[in-house]
Structure 1
């Protein structure tokens, strides 16, 4: 039986079931691009347009459910980003924030397999990409990064439904842009499958450096390996290391805090702990010894900071993301020695950015 976000697609039922769906009717949109009205009207029109598309009807039942859920959620965070700029209405960053919200909803409210959840979240994140890809500073790199996370035919269908599910004067231009996007994907060999790289080092090097070529094969002069853990508190990172890598040295921010009795909410103390951890890591890196970097690392900006350091010392970075189902997570945290208050857990969950496949030499999902 395939997964679905809901078995009842009646709009009034959706509003009664999901508060975020009810919020859509109160969010205005710019009349030039959305003369149809508010976000609720637009979302309903997008869903109707999607289900009427022949390409959608040819998808497998599970693909249809994934795409329908993404269409329902694609503008979920216009509620928090919409603003008035003179006589215009904009919603900057709604797709990026919508990705995190979609992930949270499908983790806490609707039981969703990890792979399906991340497909929906990625579709929400990139739903505008087919319209604006050629205006990006580096269109090819942006496209290839997205291709590692989302199936491009599904993304193009979502963008087309988004364009058809509105009233505007430039709809033909929007549809033409989506056709160009599909051709661009074909040209860059990422339409049906993600762009293939020779190996993890080639992929990592391409996304880390500017003005690179996806066909470039770098010389492998890496000297050591760092296992970088990523996951919310209470997911079982310590247990994972003890079970699978009992002899591997570990640099842990939490251990440093506990050894020195530092409070997690003390900013100055946290800064000191980070410096201590960085020096420990540098010592292992200078010696060429493998080790584990154990911290939450739940945002890309934090991960990038450390991965750049490790790469400077020519270390191969294996990024391991760890996750358990929502109820198990709450139970594990409650029963651990250093439990985190649930309010703090929910705050961290809202910030979570699951590692993307291109962030390290190797990215593994233990879920």
Structure 2
């Protein structure tokens, strides 16, 4: 099979009124073939397997005004978000042995990572790829957003936050198609919920644009749960100014720091590992403890510094960011990325104990930072 390319992907995005070349997609993206044999709970999906549902979703999407009137880029995003929105259901399917009920827990988050890896190898432009992945991550949220979520976050909060992470018009279009493309007895209720989601976003002034905030600190404080109004400046205590790096190994983080923050102290997991004389994967707890102790020393003195490590998953970044914000730090998050061939070639040429196969395993934890994670987020990809 030829290597999948962004050019080929774009060429096969159907125009409104055209029939998608289903056979091409099954050939070009082999993981889609697994959808054919993946069952779904008949209560929510009486139409049948995941591939039947996916085709119905795309057909519904293509009838909608956002697809018909969208730009070429918007159609690309919409089409591949819909095509790949359930790509992880085969890997996450569980069947209750007693009731026979079928579930696919975590398929949205895992699906976004699978789509990211696929699109990275295909050379899809960064911003387009991440828009697709962000939609996949939350594609079910508009179904029930008006009720808030299990973390106690309100619909108002979710809409404001999401508006800084993706275009709510495109998310709503995919969510509506996802609901229309199934046989479910409560489908009409969910479609009403999606339309109300749209209306609330319009009322908030963030349907197709980010919600306005007084300044970056007010926005970040709100996103982290402060009960404040977006229009009024939230006081910022003095603290360290910290540059937090993020990116796959061999993506150029050390080079960027040397070129742009050369005069600042650096908290580095690699340096801590080297100081302790350890290889990758050996006594990572001690390595992290050494790095954190140095960071706390900088934070107590309100000194500027760089935190340089992969910070590849949202969970890894959260640990670092929670610590920094507890000390009132002002954070810029710098994300770097390179094409796969560059990453793997560079890594083989480095003096490192990290093999390429380990990087390949790391990809399954790869979550690109969201714009809502720091005061400012820079993407170099």
TM bin (shorter chain): over 0.9
What is the CA deviation profile of residues 264-293 of structure 1, one whole-angstrom value per residue up to 9, with x for unaligned ones?
222xx2211211111111111122211101
Distance 2:91 2:226 in 1: 33
Name the residue aligned to 1:129: 141
TM-score by length of structure 2 reads: 0.91
Residues 123, 150 of structure 1: 8 Å contact kept = yes
Q: Secondary structure at the match of 2:174?
A: helix
Paired residues, number:
363
Q: Secondary structure at the match of 2:379?
A: strand
How far did 1:6 drift? 5.0
1:7 counterpart (5, 8, 11): 11
Q: Does 1:220 align with 2:275?
A: no
Distance 2:173 2:311 in 1: 33
Residues 73, 128 of structure 2: 8 Å contact kept = no
Name the residue aligned to 1:97: 110
Distance 1:16 1:4 in 2: 12
Q: Secondary structure at the match of 2:9?
A: coil
How far did 1:321 drift? 0.8
* Mapping for residues 1-367 of structure 1, pairs under 5 Å: 5=9, 7-8=11-12, 9-85=20-96, 86-108=99-121, 110-135=122-147, 136=149, 137-138=152-153, 139-266=155-282, 269-338=283-352, 340-367=354-381
How far did 1:47 drift? 1.1
Query: Larger deviation: 290-299 or 80-89?
Result: 80-89
Distance 1:98 1:4 in 2: 21
Q: Secondary structure at the match of 1:254?
A: helix
Residues 279, 353 of structure 2: 8 Å contact kept = no
What is the CA deviation profile of residues 158-201 of structure 1, one whole-angstrom value per residue up to 9, with x for unaligned ones?
11111121122222222211111101111222112011212111
Distance 2:33 2:367 in 1: 26
Residues 146, 193 of structure 2: 8 Å contact kept = no
Question: Once superposed, what is the RMSD of the aligned Cα atoms?
Answer: 1.7
Query: Larger deviation: 95-104 or 220-229?
Result: 220-229
* Change beyond 3 A, Cα 1:171–1:348: same
Residues 4, 66 of structure 1: 8 Å contact kept = no
* Change beyond 3 A, Cα 1:224–1:51: same
How far did 1:4 drift? 6.4
How far did 1:220 drift? 2.4
What is the CA deviation profile of residues 26-72 of structure 1, one whole-angstrom value per residue up to 9, with x for unaligned ones?
11011122111100011111111111223321111221111001100
